Chain A
Amino acid sequence: MSLAKEFTKGLWEIVPPFRLVLGLCPTLAVTTSAENGMGMGLATTFVLVCSNLLVSLLRKVIPSKVRIAAYVVIIASFVVIVELMMQAYVFPLYQALGIFIPLIVVNCIILGRAEAFAGKNSPLPSIADGLGVGIGYTISLTVLGAFREILGNGTIWSHGLFWDGFEPFTFMVRAPGAFVALGCFLAMINLVSAKLDDRKRRAQS
Protein backbone atom coordinates (compact mmCIF):
# COMPACT_ATOMS: atom_id res chain seq x y z
CA MET A 1 0.00 0.00 0.00
CA SER A 2 1.29 3.41 -0.87
CA LEU A 3 1.67 6.26 1.64
CA ALA A 4 -0.86 8.38 -0.21
CA LYS A 5 -3.44 5.63 0.12
CA GLU A 6 -2.80 5.31 3.86
CA PHE A 7 -3.32 9.05 4.14
CA THR A 8 -6.44 9.40 2.02
CA LYS A 9 -8.28 6.47 3.59
CA GLY A 10 -8.58 8.55 6.77
CA LEU A 11 -10.31 11.30 4.82
CA TRP A 12 -13.15 9.25 3.39
CA GLU A 13 -12.99 5.48 3.67
CA ILE A 14 -12.70 5.33 7.48
CA VAL A 15 -13.26 9.00 8.36
CA PRO A 16 -14.01 9.32 12.08
CA PRO A 17 -16.48 9.83 13.64
CA PHE A 18 -18.78 9.05 10.69
CA ARG A 19 -17.29 5.83 9.33
CA LEU A 20 -15.03 4.83 12.17
CA VAL A 21 -17.68 5.55 14.77
CA LEU A 22 -15.19 6.22 17.56
CA GLY A 23 -14.36 9.28 19.63
CA LEU A 24 -18.02 10.20 19.94
CA CYS A 25 -17.80 11.76 23.39
CA PRO A 26 -15.65 14.75 22.37
CA THR A 27 -17.53 14.91 19.06
CA LEU A 28 -20.81 15.47 20.83
CA ALA A 29 -19.46 17.68 23.59
CA VAL A 30 -17.13 20.22 22.01
CA THR A 31 -18.65 20.88 18.58
CA THR A 32 -20.65 23.87 19.77
CA SER A 33 -18.65 26.08 17.42
CA ALA A 34 -16.42 25.59 14.39
CA GLU A 35 -13.44 26.95 16.31
CA ASN A 36 -13.82 24.53 19.22
CA GLY A 37 -14.28 21.60 16.86
CA MET A 38 -11.15 22.51 14.95
CA GLY A 39 -9.10 23.01 18.13
CA MET A 40 -10.17 19.64 19.45
CA GLY A 41 -9.46 18.00 16.08
CA LEU A 42 -5.96 19.49 15.86
CA ALA A 43 -5.11 18.48 19.43
CA THR A 44 -6.27 14.95 18.67
CA THR A 45 -4.31 14.91 15.40
CA PHE A 46 -1.10 15.90 17.19
CA VAL A 47 -1.51 13.17 19.79
CA LEU A 48 -2.50 10.64 17.12
CA VAL A 49 0.50 11.28 14.87
CA CYS A 50 3.00 11.29 17.75
CA SER A 51 1.61 8.18 19.40
CA ASN A 52 1.37 6.34 16.06
CA LEU A 53 5.01 7.13 15.35
CA LEU A 54 6.24 6.03 18.75
CA VAL A 55 4.10 2.91 18.89
CA SER A 56 5.32 1.94 15.44
CA LEU A 57 8.97 2.51 16.37
CA LEU A 58 8.59 0.43 19.53
CA ARG A 59 6.37 -2.26 18.03
CA LYS A 60 9.12 -4.90 18.12
CA VAL A 61 10.30 -3.98 21.61
CA ILE A 62 6.96 -3.93 23.39
CA PRO A 63 5.91 -7.45 24.48
CA SER A 64 2.41 -8.14 23.19
CA LYS A 65 1.08 -8.98 26.65
CA VAL A 66 1.65 -5.49 27.97
CA ARG A 67 1.15 -3.58 24.74
CA ILE A 68 -2.07 -1.85 25.80
CA ALA A 69 -0.47 -0.57 29.00
CA ALA A 70 2.51 0.71 27.03
CA TYR A 71 0.26 2.41 24.45
CA VAL A 72 -1.75 4.11 27.17
CA VAL A 73 1.40 5.48 28.82
CA ILE A 74 2.64 6.82 25.48
CA ILE A 75 -0.72 8.38 24.60
CA ALA A 76 -1.18 9.88 28.06
CA SER A 77 2.24 11.52 27.91
CA PHE A 78 1.43 13.24 24.62
CA VAL A 79 -1.94 14.36 25.92
CA VAL A 80 -0.32 16.02 28.93
CA ILE A 81 2.15 17.73 26.60
CA VAL A 82 -0.73 19.07 24.49
CA GLU A 83 -2.55 20.20 27.61
CA LEU A 84 0.43 22.12 28.96
CA MET A 85 1.18 23.70 25.58
CA MET A 86 -2.43 24.80 25.15
CA GLN A 87 -2.50 26.36 28.61
CA ALA A 88 0.69 28.22 27.85
CA TYR A 89 -0.06 29.53 24.37
CA VAL A 90 -3.79 29.29 23.54
CA PHE A 91 -5.45 29.73 26.91
CA PRO A 92 -8.94 30.73 25.65
CA LEU A 93 -9.16 27.53 23.62
CA TYR A 94 -8.00 25.57 26.66
CA GLN A 95 -10.79 27.14 28.68
CA ALA A 96 -13.37 26.35 26.02
CA LEU A 97 -12.35 22.70 25.62
CA GLY A 98 -11.85 22.20 29.35
CA ILE A 99 -12.02 18.63 30.57
CA PHE A 100 -12.07 17.20 27.04
CA ILE A 101 -8.37 17.81 26.52
CA PRO A 102 -7.25 15.40 29.27
CA LEU A 103 -9.96 13.04 28.04
CA ILE A 104 -8.18 12.64 24.67
CA VAL A 105 -6.35 9.88 26.55
CA VAL A 106 -9.45 7.71 26.48
CA ASN A 107 -10.41 8.67 22.93
CA CYS A 108 -10.79 5.32 21.23
CA ILE A 109 -9.57 6.62 17.87
CA ILE A 110 -6.04 6.96 19.17
CA LEU A 111 -5.84 3.64 20.97
CA GLY A 112 -7.69 2.09 18.05
CA ARG A 113 -5.18 3.31 15.46
CA ALA A 114 -2.25 2.29 17.69
CA GLU A 115 -3.67 -1.21 18.05
CA ALA A 116 -5.05 -1.68 14.54
CA PHE A 117 -2.37 0.01 12.47
CA ALA A 118 0.74 1.44 14.13
CA GLY A 119 1.43 -1.74 16.11
CA LYS A 120 1.73 -3.72 12.87
CA ASN A 121 3.26 -1.28 10.39
CA SER A 122 6.49 0.64 9.94
CA PRO A 123 6.84 4.29 11.01
CA LEU A 124 6.20 6.11 7.70
CA PRO A 125 2.85 4.50 6.87
CA SER A 126 1.90 4.94 10.54
CA ILE A 127 2.50 8.67 10.35
CA ALA A 128 0.50 8.84 7.11
CA ASP A 129 -2.30 6.89 8.76
CA GLY A 130 -2.27 9.13 11.83
CA LEU A 131 -2.26 12.30 9.75
CA GLY A 132 -5.06 11.07 7.51
CA VAL A 133 -7.34 9.95 10.32
CA GLY A 134 -6.48 13.04 12.38
CA ILE A 135 -7.18 15.48 9.57
CA GLY A 136 -10.35 13.59 8.69
CA TYR A 137 -11.44 13.93 12.31
CA THR A 138 -10.54 17.62 12.35
CA ILE A 139 -12.56 18.31 9.20
CA SER A 140 -15.53 16.35 10.52
CA LEU A 141 -15.51 18.20 13.83
CA THR A 142 -15.10 21.57 12.13
CA VAL A 143 -17.97 20.95 9.73
CA LEU A 144 -20.17 19.62 12.52
CA GLY A 145 -19.21 22.59 14.71
CA ALA A 146 -19.89 25.06 11.89
CA PHE A 147 -23.29 23.47 11.21
CA ARG A 148 -24.29 23.75 14.87
CA GLU A 149 -22.83 27.23 15.28
CA ILE A 150 -24.64 28.63 12.23
CA LEU A 151 -28.01 27.24 13.27
CA GLY A 152 -27.68 27.52 17.02
CA ASN A 153 -25.89 30.81 17.38
CA GLY A 154 -26.28 32.53 14.02
CA THR A 155 -22.53 32.98 13.71
CA ILE A 156 -19.61 31.35 11.95
CA TRP A 157 -16.11 31.70 13.37
CA SER A 158 -17.73 34.22 15.75
CA HIS A 159 -18.82 36.44 12.84
CA GLY A 160 -22.50 37.29 12.66
CA LEU A 161 -24.26 35.84 9.64
CA PHE A 162 -27.85 36.89 9.83
CA TRP A 163 -29.98 40.00 10.10
CA ASP A 164 -30.58 41.66 13.47
CA GLY A 165 -33.92 40.10 14.27
CA PHE A 166 -32.68 36.55 13.66
CA GLU A 167 -33.68 34.26 16.49
CA PRO A 168 -31.02 31.55 16.80
CA PHE A 169 -32.13 27.96 17.07
CA THR A 170 -30.35 27.51 20.44
CA PHE A 171 -31.39 23.89 20.65
CA MET A 172 -28.58 23.09 18.22
CA VAL A 173 -25.75 24.24 20.50
CA ARG A 174 -27.16 22.32 23.46
CA ALA A 175 -26.41 18.65 24.06
CA PRO A 176 -29.48 17.22 22.26
CA GLY A 177 -28.60 19.27 19.18
CA ALA A 178 -25.29 17.42 19.03
CA PHE A 179 -27.09 14.10 18.61
CA VAL A 180 -29.44 15.51 15.98
CA ALA A 181 -26.59 17.07 14.00
CA LEU A 182 -24.45 13.92 14.22
CA GLY A 183 -27.42 11.81 13.13
CA CYS A 184 -28.10 14.01 10.10
CA PHE A 185 -24.48 13.87 9.01
CA LEU A 186 -24.29 10.08 9.48
CA ALA A 187 -27.41 9.69 7.38
CA MET A 188 -26.06 11.95 4.66
CA ILE A 189 -22.72 10.17 4.50
CA ASN A 190 -24.42 6.78 4.39
CA LEU A 191 -26.69 7.98 1.58
CA VAL A 192 -23.79 9.30 -0.47
CA SER A 193 -21.70 6.16 -0.02
CA ALA A 194 -24.65 3.93 -0.85
CA LYS A 195 -25.08 5.86 -4.11
CA LEU A 196 -21.37 5.57 -4.85
CA ASP A 197 -21.34 1.82 -4.18
CA ASP A 198 -24.37 1.38 -6.37
CA ARG A 199 -22.74 3.21 -9.24
CA LYS A 200 -19.56 1.17 -8.87
CA ARG A 201 -21.50 -2.09 -8.94
CA ARG A 202 -23.42 -1.04 -12.00
CA ALA A 203 -20.21 -0.04 -13.76
CA GLN A 204 -18.76 -3.49 -13.08
CA SER A 205 -21.73 -5.49 -14.31
Chain B
Amino acid sequence: MRDIIKMLVVLTVICAVSGFSLALVHDVTREPIEYSRLKFVKEPAVKAVLSGYQNDPIKDRLVIPVGTDKKGKPVKLIVFPAKKDGKTFAVAFESAAGGYHGDIGVMVGVDINSKKLSGISIVSHTETPGLGARIIEPNFTDSFKGKSLDKDLGVSDISALSGATFSTKGVVTAVNKARATLDKYRDKMVQ
Protein backbone atom coordinates (compact mmCIF):
# COMPACT_ATOMS: atom_id res chain seq x y z
CA MET B 1 0.00 0.00 0.00
CA ARG B 2 2.72 2.46 0.97
CA ASP B 3 4.50 1.61 -2.28
CA ILE B 4 1.48 2.51 -4.33
CA ILE B 5 0.99 5.80 -2.52
CA LYS B 6 4.64 6.68 -3.01
CA MET B 7 4.43 5.93 -6.72
CA LEU B 8 1.31 8.04 -7.05
CA VAL B 9 2.78 10.97 -5.17
CA VAL B 10 6.12 10.92 -7.00
CA LEU B 11 4.58 10.67 -10.47
CA THR B 12 2.00 13.34 -9.68
CA VAL B 13 4.64 15.73 -8.41
CA ILE B 14 6.91 15.15 -11.42
CA CYS B 15 4.05 15.71 -13.85
CA ALA B 16 2.84 18.81 -12.02
CA VAL B 17 6.31 20.37 -11.98
CA SER B 18 6.77 19.50 -15.64
CA GLY B 19 3.41 21.01 -16.57
CA PHE B 20 4.11 24.15 -14.63
CA SER B 21 7.54 24.72 -16.15
CA LEU B 22 6.23 24.06 -19.67
CA ALA B 23 3.49 26.63 -19.17
CA LEU B 24 6.16 29.10 -18.10
CA VAL B 25 8.37 28.44 -21.14
CA HIS B 26 5.37 28.60 -23.43
CA ASP B 27 4.47 31.99 -22.02
CA VAL B 28 7.98 33.37 -22.41
CA THR B 29 8.42 32.14 -25.99
CA ARG B 30 4.95 33.05 -27.31
CA GLU B 31 5.93 36.50 -28.57
CA PRO B 32 9.21 35.48 -30.28
CA ILE B 33 7.53 32.46 -31.87
CA GLU B 34 4.79 34.59 -33.38
CA TYR B 35 7.42 37.00 -34.64
CA SER B 36 9.63 34.37 -36.24
CA ARG B 37 6.65 32.62 -37.82
CA LEU B 38 5.67 35.85 -39.54
CA LYS B 39 9.28 36.69 -40.28
CA PHE B 40 10.07 33.47 -42.12
CA VAL B 41 6.66 32.66 -43.58
CA LYS B 42 5.32 36.09 -44.51
CA GLU B 43 8.39 38.27 -44.91
CA PRO B 44 9.37 37.00 -48.37
CA ALA B 45 5.92 37.99 -49.63
CA VAL B 46 6.04 41.35 -47.86
CA LYS B 47 9.47 42.06 -49.31
CA ALA B 48 8.17 41.24 -52.78
CA VAL B 49 5.38 43.80 -52.61
CA LEU B 50 6.95 46.66 -50.66
CA SER B 51 10.17 48.48 -51.32
CA GLY B 52 12.11 51.48 -50.10
CA TYR B 53 11.14 51.12 -46.43
CA GLN B 54 13.48 51.71 -43.52
CA ASN B 55 11.62 49.90 -40.76
CA ASP B 56 10.94 46.23 -40.01
CA PRO B 57 7.38 45.73 -41.28
CA ILE B 58 7.08 42.47 -39.33
CA LYS B 59 7.95 44.15 -36.05
CA ASP B 60 5.70 47.14 -36.69
CA ARG B 61 2.74 45.02 -37.76
CA LEU B 62 -0.73 46.19 -36.80
CA VAL B 63 -3.53 43.83 -35.90
CA ILE B 64 -6.95 45.16 -36.85
CA PRO B 65 -10.12 43.33 -35.82
CA VAL B 66 -12.37 43.02 -38.86
CA GLY B 67 -15.61 41.52 -37.59
CA THR B 68 -16.34 37.85 -37.01
CA ASP B 69 -16.45 34.74 -39.16
CA LYS B 70 -19.38 32.36 -39.58
CA LYS B 71 -18.78 30.69 -36.25
CA GLY B 72 -18.61 33.99 -34.41
CA LYS B 73 -14.85 33.94 -33.90
CA PRO B 74 -13.17 37.32 -34.30
CA VAL B 75 -11.18 37.72 -37.52
CA LYS B 76 -7.99 39.71 -37.39
CA LEU B 77 -6.25 41.43 -40.26
CA ILE B 78 -2.50 41.73 -39.96
CA VAL B 79 -1.16 44.83 -41.67
CA PHE B 80 2.53 45.31 -42.43
CA PRO B 81 3.34 49.01 -42.74
CA ALA B 82 6.29 50.31 -44.75
CA LYS B 83 7.72 53.43 -43.12
CA LYS B 84 10.16 56.08 -44.23
CA ASP B 85 11.31 58.65 -41.68
CA GLY B 86 8.73 57.25 -39.26
CA LYS B 87 5.82 57.82 -41.62
CA THR B 88 3.79 55.04 -43.20
CA PHE B 89 3.83 55.42 -46.97
CA ALA B 90 2.64 51.97 -47.99
CA VAL B 91 0.98 48.94 -46.42
CA ALA B 92 0.89 45.24 -47.19
CA PHE B 93 -1.77 42.84 -46.08
CA GLU B 94 -3.28 39.55 -47.16
CA SER B 95 -6.44 39.07 -49.09
CA ALA B 96 -8.02 35.90 -50.43
CA ALA B 97 -10.59 34.84 -52.99
CA GLY B 98 -11.70 31.60 -54.60
CA GLY B 99 -9.78 30.50 -57.69
CA TYR B 100 -10.39 27.44 -59.80
CA HIS B 101 -9.64 25.13 -56.90
CA GLY B 102 -9.75 26.51 -53.38
CA ASP B 103 -8.78 29.92 -52.10
CA ILE B 104 -5.88 31.96 -53.44
CA GLY B 105 -4.09 34.00 -50.78
CA VAL B 106 -2.60 37.19 -52.14
CA MET B 107 -0.26 39.59 -50.35
CA VAL B 108 -1.18 43.04 -51.62
CA GLY B 109 1.10 46.07 -51.30
CA VAL B 110 -0.52 49.49 -51.71
CA ASP B 111 0.94 52.95 -51.73
CA ILE B 112 -1.19 54.89 -49.27
CA ASN B 113 -1.14 58.30 -50.93
CA SER B 114 -1.47 57.45 -54.61
CA LYS B 115 -3.57 54.34 -53.92
CA LYS B 116 -1.50 52.50 -56.49
CA LEU B 117 -0.48 48.87 -56.16
CA SER B 118 3.20 48.58 -55.32
CA GLY B 119 3.02 44.88 -56.07
CA ILE B 120 1.25 41.62 -55.33
CA SER B 121 2.57 38.23 -54.37
CA ILE B 122 0.75 34.91 -54.18
CA VAL B 123 1.10 33.51 -50.67
CA SER B 124 -0.92 30.32 -50.98
CA HIS B 125 -2.87 28.54 -53.67
CA THR B 126 -3.89 25.07 -54.84
CA GLU B 127 -4.40 25.82 -58.54
CA THR B 128 -3.66 23.31 -61.29
CA PRO B 129 0.09 22.92 -61.86
CA GLY B 130 1.11 24.21 -65.27
CA LEU B 131 -2.13 26.12 -65.79
CA GLY B 132 -3.60 28.07 -62.91
CA ALA B 133 -0.39 27.72 -60.92
CA ARG B 134 1.20 30.16 -63.33
CA ILE B 135 -0.35 32.95 -61.24
CA ILE B 136 2.82 32.86 -59.12
CA GLU B 137 5.02 33.79 -62.08
CA PRO B 138 6.42 37.35 -62.17
CA ASN B 139 5.03 37.81 -65.71
CA PHE B 140 1.58 37.75 -64.21
CA THR B 141 2.08 39.37 -60.79
CA ASP B 142 4.17 42.21 -62.22
CA SER B 143 1.30 43.28 -64.43
CA PHE B 144 -0.53 44.47 -61.28
CA LYS B 145 2.27 46.86 -60.38
CA GLY B 146 1.32 50.52 -60.61
CA LYS B 147 -2.38 49.84 -61.20
CA SER B 148 -4.60 52.30 -59.39
CA LEU B 149 -7.10 51.06 -56.82
CA ASP B 150 -9.47 54.00 -57.32
CA LYS B 151 -11.91 51.62 -58.94
CA ASP B 152 -12.23 47.84 -59.11
CA LEU B 153 -9.79 46.12 -61.45
CA GLY B 154 -11.06 44.01 -64.32
CA VAL B 155 -9.40 41.07 -66.02
CA SER B 156 -8.65 43.29 -69.03
CA ASP B 157 -6.55 45.66 -66.90
CA ILE B 158 -3.83 43.11 -66.39
CA SER B 159 -2.14 40.49 -68.53
CA ALA B 160 -4.56 37.63 -67.95
CA LEU B 161 -3.35 34.07 -68.24
CA SER B 162 -4.80 32.23 -71.21
CA GLY B 163 -6.29 28.90 -70.23
CA ALA B 164 -6.51 29.97 -66.59
CA THR B 165 -9.46 32.35 -66.53
CA PHE B 166 -10.77 31.28 -63.14
CA SER B 167 -7.37 31.58 -61.49
CA THR B 168 -6.84 35.01 -63.02
CA LYS B 169 -10.28 36.13 -61.88
CA GLY B 170 -9.59 34.77 -58.40
CA VAL B 171 -6.47 36.92 -58.05
CA VAL B 172 -8.27 39.99 -59.44
CA THR B 173 -11.16 39.43 -57.01
CA ALA B 174 -8.72 39.11 -54.12
CA VAL B 175 -7.11 42.41 -55.12
CA ASN B 176 -10.52 44.07 -55.39
CA LYS B 177 -11.38 42.74 -51.94
CA ALA B 178 -8.17 44.28 -50.69
CA ARG B 179 -9.33 47.59 -52.20
CA ALA B 180 -12.56 47.38 -50.17
CA THR B 181 -10.58 46.51 -47.03
CA LEU B 182 -8.24 49.44 -47.61
CA ASP B 183 -11.10 51.89 -48.06
CA LYS B 184 -12.75 50.65 -44.89
CA TYR B 185 -9.74 50.51 -42.57
CA ARG B 186 -7.39 53.08 -44.10
CA ASP B 187 -7.38 55.29 -40.99
CA LYS B 188 -6.47 52.39 -38.75
CA MET B 189 -3.66 51.25 -41.05
CA VAL B 190 -1.97 54.64 -41.10
CA GLN B 191 -1.33 55.65 -37.55
- Chain A residues with CB under 8 Å of chain B are 58, 61-63, 65-66, 69-70, 73-74, 76-77, 80-81, 84-85, 87-89, 91-92, 95
Q: A84-B26, A88-B32, A95-B40 are in contact. List 17 more A-B contacts (CB 8 A).
A: A58-B14, A62-B14, A63-B10, A69-B11, A70-B11, A73-B14, A73-B18, A77-B18, A77-B21, A80-B22, A84-B33, A87-B29, A87-B36, A87-B37, A88-B29, A91-B40, A92-B40
Give every chain B residue within 8 A of A76 (Cβ-Cβ): 18
> Is A61 a contact of B10 with CB atoms below 8 Å?
yes
> Is B10 a contact of A88 with CB atoms below 8 Å?
no
> Is A89 a contact of B18 with CB atoms below 8 Å?
no
Give every chain A residue within 8 A of B40 (Cβ-Cβ): 91-92, 95
B39 close to A (CB within 8 Å) = yes
What separation, in Å, do the CA atoms of A121 and B37 have in the docked complex?
41
Question: Count the B residues whose beta carbon is within 8 Å of the partner chain — how many?
Answer: 19
B15 close to A (CB within 8 Å) = yes
> Is A84 a contact of B29 with CB atoms below 8 Å?
yes
Closest 6 CB pairs of A and B: A88-B32, A91-B36, A77-B18, A88-B29, A84-B29, A87-B33
State how many angstroms separate the Cβ of B189 from the closest Cβ of chain A: 27
**At the interface, is chain B mostly helix, strand, loop or mixed?**
helix
B151 close to A (CB within 8 Å) = no
Give every chain B residue within 8 A of A62 (Cβ-Cβ): 10, 14
> Is A63 a contact of B29 with CB atoms below 8 Å?
no
- Contacts across chains A and B counted by CB atoms under 8 Å: 54
Q: Which single residue of chain B is at the shortest CB-CB distance from A69?
A: B11
Give every chain A residue within 8 A of B39 (Cβ-Cβ): 91
Selected A-B contacts with CB under 8 Å, 5 pairs: A62-B10, A63-B6, A66-B11, A76-B18, A91-B36
> Is B29 a contact of A70 with CB atoms below 8 Å?
no
State how many angstroms separate the Cβ of A205 from the closest Cβ of chain B: 52
Give every chain A residue within 8 A of B29 (Cβ-Cβ): 84-85, 87-88
B3 close to A (CB within 8 Å) = yes
User: Which of B10, B11, B18, B37 touches A91 (beta carbons < 8 Å)?
Assistant: B37
Q: Which single residue of chain B is at the shortest CB-CB distance from A66?
A: B7
Give every chain B residue within 8 A of A89 (Cβ-Cβ): 32, 36
State how many angstroms separate the Cβ of B187 from the closest Cβ of chain A: 33
Give every chain A residue within 8 A of B15 (Cβ-Cβ): 73
B1 close to A (CB within 8 Å) = no
What separation, in Å, do the CA atoms of A66 and B9 have in the docked complex?
11
